[in-house]
Structure 1
Amino acid sequence: MHEKWLNKNDLLLDSYSKYDIKPQFNGGLKDPTKSCFLSSKNPSINDYDYSYCTNTEKHKKTILLFGDSHVAEFSKAIREKYWNYNIIQATSSGCPPIINVKGEGTCQTLFNMVFNKIIKDKQIDIAIVGANWSAFATTNDIITGISQTNQLLKERIATVKFISQTKNYPSSLPMLIMNSKNISEIVPAEDSHIFYNKMKKELPTINFIDIYNYGCKNGKCKLLNDDNIPMFFDNNHYTYEWTKNIVNDLF
Structure 2
Amino acid sequence: MPIRDRSERNTHLWHWPIIVYSKMFFNFSAGTRELVIVALTFGLAVASRYLIEIPFRYKLSALRSGGIVTASAAALVILGCSTFYVSHYQNHSGHFSDDALTLAKFSQYHGTDEYYYQFRTGSCFIDGNDASKGTYQREQCLKTSTTGRNYLLIGDSHGAHLWRSLSTAAGEQVNLIQATAAGCKPVIGQTFSNKCTELMNYIYTEWLPHHKLDGVIISARWLPQDMALLQTTLTRLKSVASNIVVMGPTIEYSEALPDLLAYQHDGRTDLVAHSVDQQIKGMDQRLQRLVSQQQVRYISVYNIVCPQDRCHALASNGEPSAFDYGHFTLSGADDVARQAIVQMHRDIFM
Q: TM-score, normalised by structure 2?
A: 0.62
4+ runs deviating over 4 angstroms: none
1:103: Cα distance to partner? 4.7
Match for 1:246 among 336, 339, 343? Answer: 336
Q: How does 1:1-251 map to 2 (within 5 A)?
A: 5-19=95-109, 20=112, 21-26=115-120, 34-39=122-127, 43=131, 47-81=135-169, 82-103=171-192, 105-134=194-223, 137=224, 141-180=225-264, 181-183=268-270, 185-205=273-293, 206-251=296-341
For 1:122 and 1:45, the matched residues in 2 are separated by: 28
Coordinate RMSD, CA, aligned: 2.4
Q: For residues 99-140 of structure 1, give each alpha carbon's deviation from its aligned partner in whole angstroms, at most 9, with x where no partner exists.
A: 102455111100001012220232211111011012xx4xxx
Q: Check whether the contact 1:16–1:233 (CA below 8 A) recurs between aligned residues.
A: yes
For 1:115 and 1:197, the matched residues in 2 are separated by: 26
1:37: Cα distance to partner? 0.2
1:70: Cα distance to partner? 0.8
Q: Report the structure, 1 or 2, having the larger helix content.
A: 2
The share of aligned pairs that are identical, in percent, is: 23
Does the residue aligned with 1:149 lie in a helix, a strand or coil?
helix
Q: Check whether the contact 2:250–2:280 (CA below 8 A) recurs between aligned residues.
A: yes
Q: Check whether the contact 1:102–1:108 (CA below 8 A) recurs between aligned residues.
A: no
For 1:160 and 1:11, the matched residues in 2 are separated by: 42
Q: For residues 67-97 of structure 1, give each alpha carbon's deviation from its aligned partner in whole angstroms, at most 9, with x where no partner exists.
A: 1011111111122123222222110011111
Q: For residues 7-31 of structure 1, give each alpha carbon's deviation from its aligned partner in whole angstroms, at most 9, with x where no partner exists.
A: 23212212112213211112xxxxx
Q: Check whether the contact 1:54–1:87 (CA below 8 A) recurs between aligned residues.
A: no
Task: Sort the Cα spacing of 1:228 and 1:86 in 2 relative to 1 into closer, same or farther, 3 A.
Answer: closer
Q: Check whether the contact 1:170–1:188 (CA below 8 A) recurs between aligned residues.
A: yes
Q: Check whether the contact 2:128–2:196 (CA below 8 A) recurs between aligned residues.
A: no
User: In terms of Rg, which structure is larger?
Assistant: 2
Q: For residues 144-199 of structure 1, give each alpha carbon's deviation from its aligned partner in whole angstroms, at most 9, with x where no partner exists.
A: 21122112222122100011011221110111122232236334224433322332
Amino acid at match of 1:237: H
Instruction: Give the total of aligned pairs.
Output: 237
1:42: Cα distance to partner? 5.5
